[in-house]
């Protein structure tokens, strides 16, 4: 599994690189957004780690523009700003500094697992179509530009063919075991999914259970 680490702090960058390599990951390094952009042009990564604040600007804005162009790599933000909800529509996970390296490794491994799904047939529900080999989603022919976690949640809902999917099953599919079913991370992703999918409403809340596709 190949990971790109974009971090301008030399000590943090070295610690993250060393820990990921020791855990068996192939790691490339960038110190700023132009270097990351060049690496992403040349290589394909299972996960990309961005420090939120870099010398050339906020990595969130860079990822946002890449997402709008259809870029689907898994993204983990490292941030000293305790406001993860802002970045969730464009990233897939976050860690607030300072963080424990075992937790970082677990988060990266979980994201890489989500992007390593074997090719399977296309899933359809009404005018929504999921290409599971390419991990792309459309509604009425319009690209939805989903993050890895958004795609995984929608995939589980579409595969259930209108039947309710329990919230803890959705969390287990898209997050690691450390996320509790009572956490609001799923609700945030569902909110963004509904915005990206647009009208008419597709994802319905099933009170006391979870969610389903209408």
- 163 and 181 together in one domain: yes
Q: Return the half-sphere exposure (C-beta side, CA atoms, 13 A cut-off) of residue 174.
A: 27
What is the torsional sign of CA 173, 177, 181, 184? negative
- 17 and 99 together in one domain: yes
Reduced to 3 states, what is the DSSP secondary structure of residue 151? helix
pLDDT digits (tens, 9 = 90+) for 113-143: 876 654 457 888 999 999 887 788 999 999 9
> Which of 90, 115, 140 is the last residue before a domain boundary?
115
- 7 and 109 together in one domain: yes
- 85 and 139 together in one domain: no
CATH code, 53: 3.40.50.2300
pLDDT digits (tens, 9 = 90+) for 146-187: 988 899 899 999 988 788 998 888 887 887 555 555 568 889
CA distance 127 to 199: 11
- 73 and 94 together in one domain: yes
Of 26-40, 68-82, 140-154, which range is least confident? 68-82
Reduced to 3 states, what is the DSSP secondary structure of residue 63? helix
CATH code, 177: 1.10.10.10
- 60 and 8 together in one domain: yes
pTM of the model: 0.60
Task: For residue 159, give every residue at least 6 positions away whose Cβ sits within 8 Å of its Cβ, in sequence order, or none.
Answer: 123
- 151 and 110 together in one domain: no
Provide the domain limits for residue 34.
2-115
Number of domains present in the structure of the chain:
2
46 with 63: CB under 8 angstroms? no
């Amino acid at each position: 599994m190949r990971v790109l680490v974009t971090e301008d702090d030399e000590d943090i960058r070295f610690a993250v690189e060393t820990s990921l390599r020791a855990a068996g990951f192939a790691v490339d390094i960038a110190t700023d957004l132009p270097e990351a952009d060049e690496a992403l042009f040349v290589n394909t990564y299972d996960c990309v780690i961005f420090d939120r604040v870099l010398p050339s600007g906020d990595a969130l804005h860079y990822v946002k523009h890449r997402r709008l162009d259809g870029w689907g790599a898994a993204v983990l933000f490292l941030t000293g700003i305790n406001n993860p909800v802002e970045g969730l529509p464009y990233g897939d996970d976050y860690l607030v500094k300072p963080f424990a390296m075992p937790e970082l490794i677990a988060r990266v491994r979980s994201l890489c697992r989500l992007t390593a799904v074997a090719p399977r047939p296309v899933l359809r529900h009404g005018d929504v179509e999921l290409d599971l080999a390419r991990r792309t989603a459309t509604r009425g022919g319009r690209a939805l530009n989903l993050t890895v976690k958004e795609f995984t949640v929608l995939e589980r809902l579409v595969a259930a063919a209108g039947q309710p999917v329990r919230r803890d099953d959705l969390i287990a599919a898209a997050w690691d075991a450390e996320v509790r079913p009572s956490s609001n991370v799923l609700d945030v992703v569902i909110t963004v999914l509904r915005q990206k999918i647009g009208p008419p409403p597709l994802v319905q809340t099933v009170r006391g259970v979870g969610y389903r596709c209408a």
